[in-house]
Amino acid sequence: MHPNPIPSLAIFCKVVDNYGDIGICWRLARQLRGEHRVAVSLWVDDLRSFRRICPTVDPDAGEQDIDGVLVRHWRDQEGAFVPQEVADIVIEFFAVDIPPGYVAAMAQRHPRPVWFNLEGLTAEEWVEGCHRLPSMHPRLKLTKHFFFPGFTAKTGGLLHEAGLEQARTAFQADRDAMAGFLSGFGVTAQEMDALKVSLFCYPHAPVPALLRAWSEGGRPVTCLVPEGVAAEAVTGFIGAPATAGSHATRGALTLRVLPFVPQPDYDRLLWACDLNFVRGEDSFVRAQWAGRPFVWHIYPQDENLHHKKLRAFLGRYLGMDGGLDAWAAFSLGWNGAIDIASMPSAWQELQAALPRIAVRAEAWHREVLAHGDLTTNLLEFARELGAGQENPV
């Protein structure tokens, strides 16, 4: 029950990282609508990227209803709006510039909307001091608040839908269900018995060296990679264009190219694999909810600022556990923060540590979830900010 539901909310999303930005915003929009009865408008500038993770999207539609969410094609910054078009809560994702006409209408609306800048995820300590801080508009009577996802009680938490944990544990406890799901991608019973790895990374990852280490190793590996990811390395391994359905076996490695799948199926892929290579923010968070070992490829930034963010996360994740040094070293090498002198050796050390990493993955899962989920935390803060206004949110 929601005794004081929020009538309307608008999310403004510009797709920068191909699928991560829209992936986060689409999960947020669906949870707001499905669990909290919020009327959500999702403004997106790149509907074709959106369609890769949500096949029902019409990339040519100006407006469309998808799962109860009003998806609007955000074409430009022009146009005028009236106050009645402004939502009760306005979210700009990762500091995008909302159309000036919309901002002007926000200032004319009574009561004024609650305005959030939903920031990117980082484990750095400074976010705890900036989470929920206000920022006054330089000209208009509007206040924006920063909302940071994070891993501690002093941040907004992470996106996590109700029922996700029950679905995950039931799926992972049912080997037949996992085998049936993976068989849809062509995975055979023999490949199911191998070490199953999903691979999602940026183009500069040292994929060729890792594929060689797997193919020349002593343990069978089944690698599942979405179409378009590490395309050059995958094409080189297969010996043909890396399109969905392509596959090849070289030595101990069988590699299969998967189509991009809807978000619920990507979750199941992470749940079904023994190790997940993920990138950016959306798949990074979902890998943590999978309770499986993972290696994160962080989005690259100028002056290697992403290495600082990576080390902050590794330090928080490791805590006092010195038994995960191989995982930390491999993660740093995968991201170019240190040199991997020998990929076969680095892989062997990581592989040997997987059982211990799996134990830590489950413990970390519980620790982070104890802080609540981002969507609920954000709505609670919105209600605090709306208290005392006419028709409070």
* CA of residue 247 relative to chain centroid, distance: 26
* Contact status, residue 349 vs residue 330, Cβ threshold 8 Å: yes
Annotation marks residue 21 as catalytic:
yes
Alpha helices in the chain (DSSP H): 20-36, 47-53, 100-108, 127-130, 164-172, 175-183, 189-192, 207-215, 231-238, 263-272, 282-290, 305-318, 325-334, 343-369, 374-386
DSSP 119-147: PPP---TTHHHHTT-EEE-SSSS-EEEEE
Residue 116, strand partner residues? 91, 145
Query: Which of 203, 217, 144 has the alpha carbon at shortest distance from 225?
Result: 203
The residue from 17, 46, 191, 281 that is catalytic is 281
Q: CA-to-CA distance for 191 and 186, rounded, in angstroms?
A: 9
The residue from 17, 21, 92, 282 that is catalytic is 21
Please confirm whether the linkage preceding 259 is cis (ω < 30° from 0): no
Annotation marks residue 281 as catalytic:
yes
Residues with catalytic roles:
21, 281
